[in-house]
A and B are shown apart, each in its own frame.
Chain A
Amino acid sequence: MTLEQAKRQVVEEFSFFDEWLDKYEYLIGLGKELEPYPESDKTDDRLIKGCQSRVWLDWKMEGGLLLFRADSDALITKGIISLLLRVYSGRTPSEIAEDDFSLVDRIGLRANLSPTRANGLVSMIATIRAAAKDNV
C-alpha cells in the first residue's frame, strides 16, 4: 500500500462517522490499542512538551525505511498518533518528504492542530517531516 492509499483509507474510515463524539470514541479506542512505548524511552530529548498533551517520538532508519514509535499522555492525541504511525512509519524518507501532511486536516481534526494550543501533535508532524528530509 502506498502512502497515498494508506491516507485515503484513513479518510474513508473517518467518513463513516457523522458525530464528533463517535470520531473521538474511535480515536480513544485506537489510542488504547497503540503499541506500548517503552517507559525508559520517555526521555526529555524525545519529549515534545506542550501546554496540553505531551508527546514522545522516536525514530530510526532500518533497511532504507523510516520507523517511528510514539506515545502521548492523552488518549485522543494517542489515537491520532496511531493513525499517523500507520500512514508514515515504515516508508522511505523520500515518500514521506514529498507528502503534504494534510491527513489530520482531511479527517476534520484541524482543531487538534491549532498552533496556539502549542500541543505536541504539531511538533510531532514537524519532527516526522524533518526526520524524512534529513534521511532523503
Chain B
Amino acid sequence: MIYLDNAATSVRPRAVIDKWTYMSSQCNANIHRAVYGLAIESTTEYESARDAVRGFIGAGSREEIIFTSGTTESINLLAFSFGEAYVREGDEIVVTEAEHHSNIVPWQMMCARKGASIKVLGVDERGRLRLPELESLLTPRTRLVCVAQISNVLGIKNPLKEIVNICHSKGCPVFVDGAQGIVHERVNVTESDCDFYAFSGHKMYAAPGTGVLYGKKRFLEEMPPYMGGGEMIKSVSFSGTSYAPLPMKFEAGTRNFAGVPSFKPAIEWMSDKYDSDREIVTYMTEALKSDGRITLYGDPEDLADKAPLFSFTVKGAHHEDLALILDKMGIAVRSGQMCAEPLMDRYGVSGMVRASFGPENTPEEAAEFMKCLDRAIKMLV
C-alpha cells in the first residue's frame, strides 16, 4: 500500500512506538504527584519532553510550552483564555480563508461569546495569501491575527516573518497554526517572533492525543486558565482557589503522560528529514500542472515554498470516486472538503483529492500514484 495521507496523520518511526510502549507498559505512573520512583521517572520523561519541544521550536522558556491533546485543543484553549483576557465587545479577530475549521470555529465561538467579529484575509487563485490586504484589515480593534503556517489544503509555506512584522507594526499579536508547518519547515518562534504557535504530536511522528501550545510568557501569565481541576491549582478552598504557575496553570487533569515523552524521539528522528522531499515536490507539481484534466490548488511561484501536499480536482471526475478507485489500486489519499469548507467555497468546488507525502514515500511511489490516477480518471471520464 502507498500511504499518501501523511497530512492527516504521519507514519510513526520505531523509536516513537518504542518510547510510547515503554511509557504505557514499563513506566505507568501518573505524573507530578507521587513520590515513588516510578512516578518520578514518568514525570521526568514528561518534563524532559517539554525541554525537547522548547529547544525544537526555539522558545525562550519551558514555561511557554503547554501540552494539550492536539492542535485543536491548543486553539480552543487559546481562543477561550485569550478571549477572556483581551477581547471585548466590538473587537475583531482576523483569520484567513485557507484555515482548517479548527482555526475558524473556536474563534467564532469566542467572538459569539464576547460580541466580537471575524475578518477574513483572502487567498488568490494560486492559493497565496493576499498579503497586501492584511494591513488594511488591521484596525485598532484587531486583537489577534490567526494564520496557518502551511494550509492543510494548499501546502504553501506562508511568509510568517513578514506576516508577524506587518501585524506587530500595528500592535497586533499573531497566532500561527503549525499543524502542517512543523512537519515541513524548521520552526523558530523566537526568530519569527509569533506570539502563539500550536501543533499536534501525531502529525509530526509523535503519539496521537498529544499537542503543544506555545505562547509568549507575558500573554500566558495574564490569561486565565481554560479548564479547572487537578494539576493546575496552587491551593483550593471554598473561599477561593489560586492557580499554579506556568505551564501547569493550563494543564488541568491527567495529561497524556504515555504519549508526550514520544515527542523526544520524534524530534530526533525528524530533525534531518527536512527538505528530503524536494524531488517529489518538483515531480508532483509538474506532473499535476502539465495534465490538462487536473487543477492543482496551491501553486506558489517558487517551488521552495511548496510542501509535499497536493490538493487537486479533476474535470468531470468526483473526488470521492477517484479516492475509492485509488484505494482499490492500493493508494490511500484523502478526499472531500478536508475540514476547510470556506476554502472549497472560495474555489467553487464540493471537495478535492489530496495526496500528501511523508519522508518514507519515494519518488517511485509518486510516479506510481500518477500512473494510477491516470487509470482512475480514464475509468470515470
Minimum CB–CB distance from B101 to chain A (whole Å) comes to: 11
Minimum CB–CB distance from B32 to chain A (whole Å) comes to: 35
Q: Is the CB of A25 within 8 A of B379?
A: yes
Contacts of B320 in A (CB 8 A): 52-53, 74, 76-77, 119
Q: Is the CB of A51 within 8 A of B351?
A: yes
B237-266 residues with Cβ-Cβ distance < 8 A to A are: none
From A20, A21, A54, A75, give the contact of B321 (CB < 8 A): A75
Q: Is the CB of A24 within 8 A of B328?
A: yes
A27-61 residues with Cβ-Cβ distance < 8 A to B are: 28, 51-54
Contacts of B319 in A (CB 8 A): 52, 74
Q: Is the CB of A52 within 8 A of B379?
A: no
Contacts of B327 in A (CB 8 A): 111
B42 within 8 A of A: no
Minimum CB–CB distance from B329 to chain A (whole Å) comes to: 7
Once bound together, how far apart are the Cα atoms of A119 and B327, in whole Å? 17
Once bound together, how far apart are the Cα atoms of A24 and B317, in whole Å? 14
Minimum CB–CB distance from A82 to chain B (whole Å) comes to: 14
B373 within 8 A of A: no
Contacts of A73 in B (CB 8 A): 318, 350
Once bound together, how far apart are the Cα atoms of A25 and B320, in whole Å? 14
Minimum CB–CB distance from A117 to chain B (whole Å) comes to: 8
Given contacts A51-B337, A52-B351, A54-B350, contact A74 B328 (CB under 8 A): no
Once bound together, how far apart are the Cα atoms of A28 and B318, in whole Å? 11
A123 within 8 A of B: no
A127 within 8 A of B: no
From A28, A52, A112, give the contact of B380 (CB < 8 A): A28
Contacts of A21 in B (CB 8 A): 325, 328-329, 379
Q: Is the CB of A20 within 8 A of B379?
A: no
B152 within 8 A of A: no
B38 within 8 A of A: no
Once bound together, how far apart are the Cα atoms of A74 and B320, in whole Å? 7
Q: Is the CB of B351 within 8 A of A24?
A: no
B324 within 8 A of A: yes
Minimum CB–CB distance from B133 to chain A (whole Å) comes to: 30
B335 within 8 A of A: yes
B332-349 residues with Cβ-Cβ distance < 8 A to A are: 335-337
Contacts of B329 in A (CB 8 A): 21
Q: Is the CB of B336 within 8 A of A52?
A: yes
Once bound together, how far apart are the Cα atoms of A117 and B351, in whole Å? 13
Contacts of B350 in A (CB 8 A): 54, 73
Centre residue among B321, B336, B380 by max chain A CB count within 10 A: B321
Contacts of B336 in A (CB 8 A): 51-52, 117
Once bound together, how far apart are the Cα atoms of A51 and B339, in whole Å? 9
Which residue in chain A gives the minimum CB-CB distance to B325?
A24
Minimum CB–CB distance from B317 to chain A (whole Å) comes to: 8
Once bound together, how far apart are the Cα atoms of A110 and B333, in whole Å? 19
Contacts of A51 in B (CB 8 A): 336-337, 351
Centre residue among B318, B320, B328, B329 by max chain A CB count within 10 A: B320
Q: Is the CB of A75 within 8 A of B328?
A: no
Q: Is the CB of B321 within 8 A of A76?
A: yes
Centre residue among A73, A76, A77 by max chain B CB count within 10 A: A76
Minimum CB–CB distance from A48 to chain B (whole Å) comes to: 13
Contacts of A54 in B (CB 8 A): 350
B350-381 residues with Cβ-Cβ distance < 8 A to A are: 350-351, 379-380
Given contacts A52-B335, A54-B350, A73-B350, contact A20 B328 (CB under 8 A): yes
Contacts of A119 in B (CB 8 A): 320
Once bound together, how far apart are the Cα atoms of A124 and B329, in whole Å? 27
Once bound together, how far apart are the Cα atoms of A8 and B274, in whole Å? 55
Q: Is the CB of B318 within 8 A of A24?
A: no
Minimum CB–CB distance from A49 to chain B (whole Å) comes to: 9
Minimum CB–CB distance from A101 to chain B (whole Å) comes to: 21
Once bound together, how far apart are the Cα atoms of A100 and B336, in whole Å? 29
Which residue in chain B gives the minimum CB-CB distance to A25?
B379
B94-119 residues with Cβ-Cβ distance < 8 A to A are: none
B206-224 residues with Cβ-Cβ distance < 8 A to A are: none
Minimum CB–CB distance from A71 to chain B (whole Å) comes to: 12
Which residue in chain B gives the minimum CB-CB distance to A75?
B321
Top 6 closest A-B pairs, CB basis?
A74-B318, A20-B328, A52-B320, A51-B336, A74-B320, A53-B320
Sample of 13 more A-B contacts, CB < 8 Å, known A24-B325, A25-B379, A74-B320: A21-B328, A21-B329, A24-B324, A24-B379, A52-B319, A52-B336, A53-B320, A54-B350, A76-B321, A77-B320, A111-B327, A112-B324, A119-B320
List the interface of chain A (C-beta within 8 A of B): 20-21, 24-25, 28, 51-54, 73-77, 111-112, 117, 119
